[in-house]
Structure 1
Amino acid sequence: MSSEAEQSTDQGAYDMSDARLALTLCITKDRAGSETDVKALEHMYEVLGFKSTVRRNLPAKGFWEELEKFRDDMDRMKDPVSCCFVVLMAHGEEGILEGIDGNTIQLEELFTMLTNKNCQALRGKPKVFIVQACRGDQKDTGEVVPPEETGGTVLLSEEKPPKLPTYTDILHVFATVEGYIAYRHEEDGSFFIQTIVDVFTNMEGHILDLLTEVTRRMADAELMEGGKLRKVNPEVQSTLRKLLYLR
């Protein structure tokens, strides 16, 4: 653990000393560059000490089945789990992923599977979902801004509360905002996954700070599509209760 993470203990950081597990569910067929993303993620998991499982080219139902197996295996483990990453990569629209069979599955069905209610092994533990998929067909050309602009309840004791809300300790990170497409290069992989891997493997800090850097890099970049400038940024939704340090 880094000195920064040690200093944060008093502020309330998640204990990351136990098992770290990662599951990547991806459609690589007809999604050029996806294998590049998988290789980059495998490197990131190795650097961060995660045990990784990858499943490719699943039917829509397969996303559910593989995540269910991942959850059930965790619940049966004798040793505790500190954290899990679930990366979902496929064609999609807002709130859905498309399987290799052309059928779709609701993202919320997958997210719900690992809540504090439905996954005992991860109760009170950080659960990170990373979604590389389009959320619509809109394209952002960007907006001009002035140069200077670019750039709870208090517990009465230290005892752990007897209950947690169902939906705490979850982090959803989307490649783009609602209604917009996500960009993927046919050789270099997706802009989103490649940026996350670079930041997570080369920088230190808690995960929300790292994701702020991911957002900054993506927002500053200028993407070209068909000779036209495009802009894109990820979206982060967090119910984390503590600081999450990966290094």
Structure 2
Amino acid sequence: MSSEAEQSTDQDAYDMSDARLALTLCITKNRAGSETDVKALEQMYEALGFKSTVRRNLPAKGFWEELEKFREAMDQMKDPVSCCFVVLMAHGEEGILQGVDDNTIQLEELFAMLTNKNCRALRGKPKVFIVQACRGDQKDSGEVVQPKETGETVLLSKEQPPKLPTYTDALHVFATVEGYLAYRHENDGSFFIQTLVDVFTNMKGHILDLLTEVTRRMADAELMQGGKPRKVNPEVQSTLRKLLYLQ
């Protein structure tokens, strides 16, 4: 019996046969456990066939500069690129990251660098941003009542247009929802990164299904902070046009 990925047509799934590139920009200073996350990510990249670059302890401007170098290197490559991962790990608040110099940079500035308009090599290719950073200082104690599960599926049957919108083929995955803390253990690393790496490395399926499993595991778990139980879940923002299979 063929796998789910094998059953997909060329129109259903992104072509992942070319180069896979990953960039990790991480503040490790005063972020105990972050090196554990870096090691886990490196193992995941190797397992999934990604060529990885890691940069640590950058000033705020350095996030932009390193991503610019990454983009320029891709645009100059002779061989095509299938997909890129960009992992951003730092202290932060909603919409911003804090550099090792305590200055800040807007996440939207970083996201914009790899849009279909601004990165030729990744035009129409999946661009996955993974953000391990707080988005505020709120703490979630959880709710007893189980909410109803609702959802809508919108299917578009139009033929592929000759042009792509500027902001398609992107996936932004945040460690927590807007306004809330992200959790990191000083020895075991961050709950989000460790869960994501385990799922991406050991499970098969398209990436949105994998992220649903990440969300389920995180939502089912209970974290202790200052002797009080806390809940946390990631947030996924997707403009992918096709199924993205990593395995």
Sort the TM-score into its range (normalised by shorter chain). over 0.9
| SS of residue matched to 1:21 | strand
* C-alpha distance in 2 between matches for 1:3 and 1:194: 26
Return the offset for 1:119: 0.2
* C-alpha distance in 2 between matches for 1:224 and 1:56: 28
Query: Closer, same or farther in 2 for the Cα pair 1:21/1:10, shift >3 Å?
Result: closer
Q: What amino acid sits opposite 1:154 in the alignment?
A: S
* C-alpha distance in 1 between matches for 2:142 and 2:112: 34
Return the offset for 1:6: 1.1
Partner of 1:221: 221
Partner of 1:154: 157
Per the normalisation by structure 2, the TM-score is 0.95
After superposition, residues 22-41 of structure 1 pair within 5 angstroms as: 22-41=22-41
Which ranges of 4 or more aligned residues in structure 1 deviate by more than 3 Å?
A: 146-149
Within the alignment, does 1:235 sit opposite 2:235 as a pair?
yes
Partner of 2:20: 20
Query: Closer, same or farther in 2 for the Cα pair 1:240/1:104, shift >3 Å?
Result: same
* C-alpha distance in 1 between matches for 2:213 and 2:19: 26
Partner of 2:190: 190
After superposition, residues 26-175 of structure 1 pair within 5 angstroms as: 26-146=26-146, 153-156=156-159, 160-175=160-175
Per the normalisation by structure 1, the TM-score is 0.95
Partner of 2:201: 201
* C-alpha distance in 2 between matches for 1:63 and 1:136: 20
Q: What amino acid sits opposite 2:53 in the alignment?
A: T
Q: 5+ residue gaps in structure 1?
A: none
Return the offset for 1:10: 5.6
Per-residue CA deviations over 1:33-88 (Å, capped at 9, x if unaligned) read: 00000000000000000000000000000000000000000000000000000000
Calculate percent identity across the aligned residue pairs: 88
| SS of residue matched to 1:67 | helix
Query: Closer, same or farther in 2 for the Cα pair 1:155/1:230, shift >3 Å?
Result: same
Return the offset for 1:135: 0.1
* C-alpha distance in 1 between matches for 2:230 and 2:137: 13
Query: Closer, same or farther in 2 for the Cα pair 1:105/1:148, shift >3 Å?
Result: closer
* C-alpha distance in 1 between matches for 2:244 and 2:156: 21
What RMSD in Å do the two structures reach over aligned CA positions? 1.5
Return the offset for 1:3: 2.3
Q: What amino acid sits opposite 1:45 in the alignment?
A: Y
| SS of residue matched to 1:54 | strand
| SS of residue matched to 1:218 | helix
Q: What amino acid sits opposite 2:137 in the alignment?
A: D
Return the offset for 1:7: 0.5
Return the offset for 1:194: 0.1
| SS of residue matched to 1:9 | coil
Q: 5+ residue gaps in structure 2?
A: 150-154
Query: Closer, same or farther in 2 for the Cα pair 1:53/1:146, shift >3 Å?
Result: closer
* C-alpha distance in 1 between matches for 2:148 and 2:26: 40
